[in-house]
Structure 1
Amino acid sequence: MDQPCTVEEHLARVLGGVRPMAPVSQPLLDTLGLACAEDVVAAVSLPGFDNSAMDGYAVRRADVASATADQPVTLPVAGQIGAGQATLRELPAGAAAKIMTGAPIPEGADAVVPYEWTDRGADVVRISQAPAAGQHVRPQGDDLSAGDLVVAEGTVLGPRHLGLLASVGRARVLARPRPRVVILSTGSELREPGDELGHDSIYDGNSYLLAAAVLRAGAVPHRVGIVTDEAGVFLKTLHQELAGADLVVTSGGVSQGDFDVVKEALREEGVWFGGVAMQPGKPQGFGLVGPEGRGVPIVTLPGNSVSAYISFEVFVLPAIRTLMGLTPTSRPLVEARLTRAMTSPAGRRQFMRGEVGTDAGGRYVDPVGGPGSHLIGALAEANSLIVVPEDATELAEGDRVQVLVLDGEF
């Protein structure tokens, strides 16, 4: 039997078969979480014109420089200026104009007197405090100027970036699209949640688990559903889905059993199958399937739920992020203090479920459940994976360990 490859070797195999997708112009809201594929410069300045920072009165400062509470200055009100309703373009000398926040400063005015410093008069206003020159005026270009770089190529677009892009007039932006990930669960024993179970059947949790993980990664999941343990049925289903797929993920049928349909069907298609020195998740597969020249990457995962999920985190998530042009491709590891002793098999990298937290001593991680690949209840309780190296067989309470935190953004 061939020796298992390392986690790094299989990850390199997977990433060697995927390339970032070609950028496309997309509506702004569709690009949330995507990598911008262009340098965007501002077509307009922000603000685009001098405008008021307060509700009050636009004035020429020289006309109100002497105003005090004891000796207020009284000015006629020449008009009212609202945001988007700027009919008064020039302020006459010796007059004030009522102005709302965000409205353009009329020509000739150089300060705004807030309502609080006035009697809020409609025809004539009494001003009891003098503003400084330029006070409560937002100058044109105070935030940024036309031609400034506002979003650099490679930026992962968040709500603040999209708000900025919209503010400078961009309705669309060039970004790498969301991959469409086809998900197939194999197994004649599988049933849809809600259906009645037989004496030897189980519910298909894997396809929901993987579809949710794809969705959280920012891609578009297409859950095909259950495929029975028949190679012909599997291949027919697979090839029906390839036209719209950027990546295919399967679970089940990749081990050494008599009914491992995925391995049976795909070996003839040139897909690699073998062991990876990890626990759980040893049986893995990867290849390109479909018409020559448009081979769609397919990652075949083990059937046990914990194995499938951990394999997704280690191999599939980096593939999705590569397709999307996102870096880093893998979640970063952090260090934590182990709260209790644990063992690990020699020669395999163990991914033990854990719960990360902090206390007076810093970050700690508490192992959750056992090493079994079927313990999905413990997986649901965990928020991290404790990554135990291949040469470590015993870890003591208090040891520093590497941890992959599952739920945070990166």
Structure 2
Amino acid sequence: MFRQLIPFERAKQIILENIPSEPAKTENIPIYKAYNRVLAEDIIAPFDVPSFNRSIVDGYAVRAEDTFGAEEEKPVKLTLVGRINVGETPKLTINSMETAEIATGAALPKGANAVVMVEYTSREGDEVAIYRPVVKGENVMKAGDDIKSREKILEKGEILVPRKIGVLAALGFTNVKVYSQPKIAIISTGPEIVEPGKPLPLGKVYDVNSYTLSAAVQELGAIPLNMGIIPDEEKE
């Protein structure tokens, strides 16, 4: 029988006193393997996200000032000079009283500063009628609206959850510096404990704790080391 027990807080103190405050080893790993790992460095955005002004609706890229005064009964008519698809680099420029058809997510062309939703327009040949005015920046996501260049987006010591891994991907990172995973030894004690899968004699029980603790260790991002079952008595 146990004759002397260490209080829980004392046992916890002993463990913490023997654990380094910061892991000594780091490693660079692919971001697709970085789930639940701990960052070993700050992450600074190398560029704006998005890196360009882009439309958030399907419609027409315009100079906002050209649409002022547009009404249902008295639309402003602009000359269509092209189309910009998502993923393309615009090669055209929007001059006074001109417009270009633009898809959601596409880059805003030079000269344009707003987008009119397609629902508030009509088109006949190369002429586009605008039935509702827009202001500068309307229906446009500006460069850096999500993340600004040189902004600290993740801090050393953060756990990499899916959302944060997505941020790394958005910034073009393929690898990330993380702390090496600590290894945690797990020992089950007691003469009554039997390894699961083996015959279970009367008076014995299967080892539950080592498997439960192993899963808990993995959940916390560490590597469990199952050291097996040992007797209660030190001399054994």
* TM-score relative to the length of structure 1: 0.51
SS state at 1:116 partner: helix
1:314-325 equivalences in 2 (<5 Å): none
Among candidates 116, 121, 136, match of residue 113 of structure 1: 116
Give the direction of change, closer, same or farther, for the CA distance of 1:77–1:44 in structure 2 (3 Å limit): same
Give the direction of change, closer, same or farther, for the CA distance of 1:2–1:205 in structure 2 (3 Å limit): closer
1:253 is matched by which residue type in structure 2?
P
1:78–1:92 contact (8 Å) kept in structure 2: no
Among candidates 52, 58, 62, match of residue 59 of structure 1: 62
1:189 deviation in Å?
5.2
Could you say what the CA RMSD is over the residues aligned between the two structures, in angstroms?
Answer: 2.8
Percentage of pairs with the same residue: 33
1:27–1:171 contact (8 Å) kept in structure 2: yes
SS state at 2:100 partner: strand
1:79–1:88 contact (8 Å) kept in structure 2: no
Segments of structure 1 that go 5 or more residues without pairing to the other structure are: 228-251, 255-259, 266-410
1:188-337 equivalences in 2 (<5 Å): 190-223=193-226, 226-227=228-229, 252-254=230-232, 260=233, 263-264=234-235
Among candidates 100, 104, 109, match of residue 101 of structure 1: 104
Among candidates 30, 35, 41, match of residue 33 of structure 2: 30
1:26–1:172 contact (8 Å) kept in structure 2: yes
1:25–1:175 contact (8 Å) kept in structure 2: yes
Give the direction of change, closer, same or farther, for the CA distance of 1:122–1:99 in structure 2 (3 Å limit): farther
Q: Aligned partners of 2:79, 2:129: CA distance in 1, in Å?
A: 9
2:158 is matched by which residue type in structure 1?
T
1:71 deviation in Å?
0.7
Give the direction of change, closer, same or farther, for the CA distance of 1:115–1:146 in structure 2 (3 Å limit): same
SS state at 1:90 partner: coil
Q: Aligned partners of 1:12, 1:39: CA distance in 2, in Å?
A: 30
Give the direction of change, closer, same or farther, for the CA distance of 1:42–1:83 in structure 2 (3 Å limit): same
1:46 deviation in Å?
1.8
Q: Aligned partners of 1:105, 1:143: CA distance in 2, in Å?
A: 17
* TM-score relative to the length of structure 2: 0.83
Q: Which has the higher helix share?
A: 1
Give the number of the structure with larger relative contact order, counting CA–CA contacts within 8 Å between residues 6 or more apart. Answer: 2
Segments of structure 2 that go 5 or more residues without pairing to the other structure are: none
1:53-202 equivalences in 2 (<5 Å): 53-119=56-122, 123-185=126-188, 190-202=193-205
SS state at 1:174 partner: strand
Q: Aligned partners of 1:180, 1:89: CA distance in 2, in Å?
A: 58
